[in-house]
Amino acid sequence: MRLQLQSDMASRTAFLLFFVNLFVSWVSATPLTGGRVLAVIEEQYDSTKYSQFLMDLKGRGYDVKLEPAKKDTLSLFEHGEKVWDHVILFPPKFKGYGPALTPQKLLEFTKLGGNVLILTSPSSIPEQVRELARELDIGLPPKDYITVDHFNYDTVSKSEKHDVILANRPAVSPAVHNYFSGKQDDLIAFRGAGHTLGNGPLLVPLLTAPRTAYTYDSKEDFAYAQDPWAAGTQMQLVSAMQARNNARITLVGSVDMFSNEFFDMKVQKPGSTKPQKTANKEFCRDVAAWTFGEKGIVKVNSIKHYLSNEPNAPVNPNMYRIKNDVTFEIELSEYDIDRWVPFKVPSGDSLQLEFTMLDPYYRVPLLPSSTSSNATTFTTSFKIPDQHGVFAFRVNYKRPYITYIDEKYSVTVRHFAHDEYTRSWDISGAWVWIAGIAVTIIGWIGFCALWLWSAPAAAKVGVKKTQ
Amino acid sequence: MRSTMSSGMSFWTFFVLAFSSFVGAASGAWTFEDAQAVVAAKGGKADTYKFSPTQPVKGALTLGPKDILKISLTVKEDSKVGRPHQAFLLVQEPESKVETFFPLSVKELSGKAKVDLSHKDLPAFLLTAPSLSLSLVLGSFGESPASIVTIGGVEPSLDPTSKALLEKQKQKDIGEGTTVYKAKDEIRYVFRADPQSPPKIITLAFLLSVLAGLGGLFVVWFPILGGNLSHLPKALKAAPISHPLFFASLLSLEGIFFMYYTQWNLFRTLAGMAVVGPVALFSGSRALREVRARREKGER
């Protein structure tokens, strides 16, 4: 009784807190993963160059603080906790970033869940960024290597150097949620250097170089690219690493992409007839939104498993029996800028449930069964294998661009109890044995009756006597 | 990513631009002439194939393990020789669109460009492909439009042992063993086969034979050995309570066993036994005493 009262109180407090929370979040509209942004930028002059991008961030509820890289008091942590939720690194004017932004500190920051957006320019890639990139298995070109493309350059800016590359958004893929493949005819202006990616599953390309682009040493004397550093679609312009804790590090090969100049620029490809506005503003917003966890965040609201054929079966029991029919449900939501929306699995992909004991015994697709305003329920049913032991329901959904889902719930699978087997009379092979027992019983009863009440037959007595 | 289609398109635009800028003459398009591809075998035998911006090499060139494909051409910026900043031979696997590049070495004065391609230059992924397409990219800074032209195809021929080695290398290159985040193959558990009963007809035959055994027993007892229940009235007269009670308790013992078989649990069965057992014991001793009395009287 008292316990119930307490829980009632607790739920009331939770309810109240929820409303307070709602109110607070409505007032401040803080982004999901926190709004404290540190922008490491050298001078006031620079910040005006990127004011549109920074204002856009502020408009979305971020509290952006601009700090020079070498400031003494600059620190990512206080008392072991991160003091920023996100960090934007603009390329430094000087050689490096200072002691607060070493690769170790940045990795420590991501370990605590912080996101990092690194903007580089070919003329200044500090050693800290190089070292970090090496750890992430991203190959950065040496200093002063720039990427050019003689097919997809901007003709409006009259640059003889062909260094403003016009890249297209990545193609829409049926198998992944690519948050960067928007309108396919968008042109994204890029001036900087591409990089290469290793084979790890945590690395994802956000913007790929055109087929004819290549990176060469701009300080090279040779009049032609004898030994380009990288070329073609194997080269990336913007890529990211999503760590196992879902912290994101995005590396952009061109800081100019994020500048007001490129946001407002009208560009024209050689051969096209009229100039077109760049999609840099939208693309850079996408990059920042994804990196700072406004997009591609998927959460599990609830998980249910129960016996399929029983209407009053308990939900999430600890034990099942072999050959039970079981239904498993998982409810997923996806965060989209400012609210939770139902999560959709791409058509070419599959959300899978595994039923494992050491190895998966089942790996079956979970299909959407119902959708509410902010969540989708995915369901599947299967028959538990005829193997007893401790099994786990596991949803291991790790895909590029979205946060990783790895849910695991153990249940015991027991054998048939002695009274759950098929009864012997239902087994035709047992009929002979059952009949044998029946015959024995009837014979015994008959024998008892004879023993008790039979009168000797005269002729037989004679036989007995002769024996 | 640009496919051959779009490279054809840019080729077309290159023509349009070449025409439109013809008057200006200062900025012609990048093109080439006197192009030939030579597949030189180690023994000295060499096959020469000519190609031009509009006419790629017909059919695929076969590139053996010891062969060298030598491509040579003269690069021209419109009509005069020149050296573009970008002169690459692109080798693409058409299915996956995986591509690699080989820069041509270009002489500044003559515009003569050449590149050699042999098996050891190609990564395992491309080398194990059934066919590869070759394109030439020429482009440079300034106004002259760049061009990308498909110049032909190559079929690398491999002997089986090196093919197996290369396949291994290819798997390694594309990240064998490293996780790829994608949907895995579906698994459905295959249940063990249910135990089978023999065919019903055999079961019924044996069932019949068992029942026939019982029938046989009763036939032997009653008609043949002369079993009868003639002493029943006598017995009932001598011990009217214990005889029916003993027989009833025997029947109910079997009944309890039957209930245990069908629905009762062990405890209920034991309770039943505890009730019926003593009854059977006491009434049985009385009834059997009566039977002994009959025997002593010489009636049995």
Q: Tell me if B15 is assigned to some domain.
A: no
Q: Do B299 and A455 touch (CB under 8 A)?
A: yes
Going by pLDDT thresholds of 50, 70 and 90, the confidence category of residue B286 is very high
B225-279: per-residue pLDDT in tens?
888 888 899 999 999 999 999 999 999 999 999 999 999 999 999 999 999 999 9
Q: Tell me if B10 is assigned to some domain.
A: no
Q: What is the pLDDT of residue A222?
A: 62
**What's the rounded Cα separation, in Å, for the pair A180 and A238?**
11
Going by pLDDT thresholds of 50, 70 and 90, the confidence category of residue B18 is very low
Mean pLDDT of B218-229: 89
Residue bearing the bigger pLDDT, A465 or A107: A107
Is domain A36-292 annotated with CATH 1.25.10?
A: no
Q: Are residues B232 and B217 in the same domain?
A: no
Q: What is the pLDDT of residue A308?
A: 94
* Closest chain A residue to the Cα of B144, Cα to Cα: A150
Q: Which residues, 6+ apart, have CB-to-CB distance to A278 below 8 Å?
A: A166, A187, A188, A189, A262, A263, A265, A266, A267
B114-127: per-residue pLDDT in tens?
888 888 888 888 88
Q: Do A227 and B103 touch (CB under 8 A)?
A: yes
A121-171: per-residue pLDDT in tens?
988 888 889 999 999 999 999 988 989 898 888 888 867 778 889 999 998
The count of other CB atoms within 10 Å of the CB of residue B294 is 18
Asked if B106 is an interface residue toward chain A (Cβ–Cβ < 8 A), one would say yes
Exposed, middle or buried, B97 (CB in 10 Å: 0-12/13-18/19+)?
middle
Q: Are residues B145 and B253 in the same domain?
A: no
Report the candidate in A248, A313, A293, A208 with the shortest Cα–Cα distance to residue A30. A293
Q: Are residues B149 and B261 in the same domain?
A: no
Distances (CA, A) of A221 to A215, B84, B113: 15, 14, 19
Relative orientation angle of helices B200-219 and A431-453, to the nearest 10 degrees = 10
Q: Which residues, 6+ apart, have CB-to-CB distance to B149 below 8 Å?
A: B7, B11, B53, B56, B135, B136
**HSE value, Cβ hemisphere, 13 Å, CA-based, for B138:** 31
Mean pLDDT of A430-453: 94
Q: Are residues B129 and B86 in the same domain?
A: yes
Residue A175 is given by DSSP the state S
**What's the rounded Cα separation, in Å, for the pair B114 and B105?**
6
- Of A15-29, A233-247, B2-16, B174-188, minimum mean pLDDT range: B2-16
Q: Which helix (H) or strand (E) holds A227?
A: none
Q: Are residues B169 and B91 in the same domain?
A: yes
What residue ranges in B163-287 does DSSP mark as E strands? none
Checking if the pLDDT of A27 tops 60, the result is no
Residue bearing the bigger pLDDT, B130 or A464: B130
Residues in a beta bridge with B11: none
Q: What is the pLDDT of residue A220?
A: 75
Q: Do B140 and A150 touch (CB under 8 A)?
A: yes
Mean pLDDT of B90-99: 88
Residues of chain A found within 8 Å of residue B251, distances taken between Cβ atoms: 445
- Of A323-337, B4-18, B162-176, minimum mean pLDDT range: B4-18
Q: Which two tokens stand for residue A66?
A: 């601009």
| A362 φ/ψ angles, rounded to the nearest 5 degrees | -130, 145
Asked if A360 is an interface residue toward chain B (Cβ–Cβ < 8 A), one would say yes
Asked if residues A196 and A230 have their Cβ atoms less than 8 Å apart, the reply is yes
Q: What is the pLDDT of residue B6?
A: 39
Checking if the pLDDT of A63 tops 80, the result is yes
B143-190: per-residue pLDDT in tens?
788 888 888 888 888 888 888 888 888 888 877 777 888 899 999 999
Asked if residues B83 and B176 have their Cβ atoms less than 8 Å apart, the reply is no
Checking if the pLDDT of A30 tops 80, the result is no
Q: Are residues B135 and B236 in the same domain?
A: no
A378-410: per-residue pLDDT in tens?
999 999 999 999 999 999 999 999 999 999 999
Q: What is the pLDDT of residue A419?
A: 84
The overall average pLDDT reported for chain B is 84
Q: What is the pLDDT of residue B7?
A: 40
Counting the structural domains of chain B, the total is 3
**HSE value, Cβ hemisphere, 13 Å, CA-based, for A355:** 28
Q: What is the pLDDT of residue B40?
A: 83
Q: Are residues B213 and B139 in the same domain?
A: no
Checking if the pLDDT of A15 tops 60, the result is no
Q: Tell me if B182 is assigned to some domain.
A: no
Q: What is the pLDDT of residue B178?
A: 78
Asked if B223 is an interface residue toward chain A (Cβ–Cβ < 8 A), one would say no
Q: Are residues B248 and B269 in the same domain?
A: yes
Fold (topology level) of A297-414: Coagulation Factor XIII; Chain A, domain 1 (2.70.50)
Going by pLDDT thresholds of 50, 70 and 90, the confidence category of residue A375 is very high
Picking from B12, B77, B86 by the largest number of A CB atoms within 10 A of its own CB, the best residue to mutate is: B86
Q: Are residues B55 and B43 in the same domain?
A: yes
Q: Are residues B132 and B241 in the same domain?
A: no
Mean pLDDT of A63-81: 88
Residues in B 242-281 with any Cβ partner in A closer than 8 A: 243, 246-247, 250-251, 254, 257
Q: Do A232 and B225 touch (CB under 8 A)?
A: no
Q: Which of B140, B174, B208 is the last residue of a domain?
A: B174
Domain, as residue range, for B146: 30-174
Confirm whether the ipTM is greater than 0.90.
no
Q: Tell me if B240 is assigned to some domain.
A: yes
pTM: 0.80
Going by pLDDT thresholds of 50, 70 and 90, the confidence category of residue B5 is very low
Going by pLDDT thresholds of 50, 70 and 90, the confidence category of residue A427 is very high
Residues in B 176-205 with any Cβ partner in A closer than 8 A: 178-189, 191-192, 197-198, 200, 203-204
A342-366: per-residue pLDDT in tens?
999 999 999 999 999 999 999 999 9
Asked if A445 is an interface residue toward chain B (Cβ–Cβ < 8 A), one would say yes
Q: What is the pLDDT of residue B29?
A: 82
Q: Tell me if B45 is assigned to some domain.
A: yes
Mean pLDDT of B208-227: 92
Q: Tell me if B5 is assigned to some domain.
A: no
Checking if the pLDDT of B4 tops 60, the result is no
Q: What is the pLDDT of residue B65?
A: 83
The overall average pLDDT reported for chain A is 87
Report the candidate in A236, A262, A238 with the shortest Cα–Cα distance to residue A252. A238
Q: Are residues B158 and B278 in the same domain?
A: no
User: Could you report how far apart the first and last alpha carbons of chain A are, in Å?
Assistant: 86
A165-212: per-residue pLDDT in tens?
999 999 888 888 889 987 888 899 999 999 999 888 899 999 999 999
**Domain residue extents for chain A:** 36-292, 297-414
Relative orientation angle of helices A280-291 and A51-59, to the nearest 10 degrees = 50
Q: Tell me if B261 is assigned to some domain.
A: yes
**Percent of chain B whose pLDDT exceeds 70:** 91
Asked if A448 is an interface residue toward chain B (Cβ–Cβ < 8 A), one would say yes
Q: Which two tokens stand for residue A357?
A: 């004991």
Q: What is the pLDDT of residue B56?
A: 85
Q: Which two tokens stand for residue A150?
A: 């003689």
Q: What is the pLDDT of residue A253?
A: 93
Q: What is the pLDDT of residue A107?
A: 93
A242-278: per-residue pLDDT in tens?
999 999 999 999 999 999 999 998 998 887 888 889 9
Q: Tell me if B210 is assigned to some domain.
A: yes
Question: Would you call A86 helix, strand, or coil by DSSP?
Answer: strand
Picking from A425, A452, A460, A463 by the largest number of B CB atoms within 10 A of its own CB, the best residue to mutate is: A452
Q: Are residues B149 and B39 in the same domain?
A: yes
Q: What is the pLDDT of residue B79?
A: 78
Q: What is the pLDDT of residue A221?
A: 57
Mean pLDDT of A31-60: 87
* Closest chain A residue to the Cα of B262, Cα to Cα: A423
Asked if residues A330 and A303 have their Cβ atoms less than 8 Å apart, the reply is yes
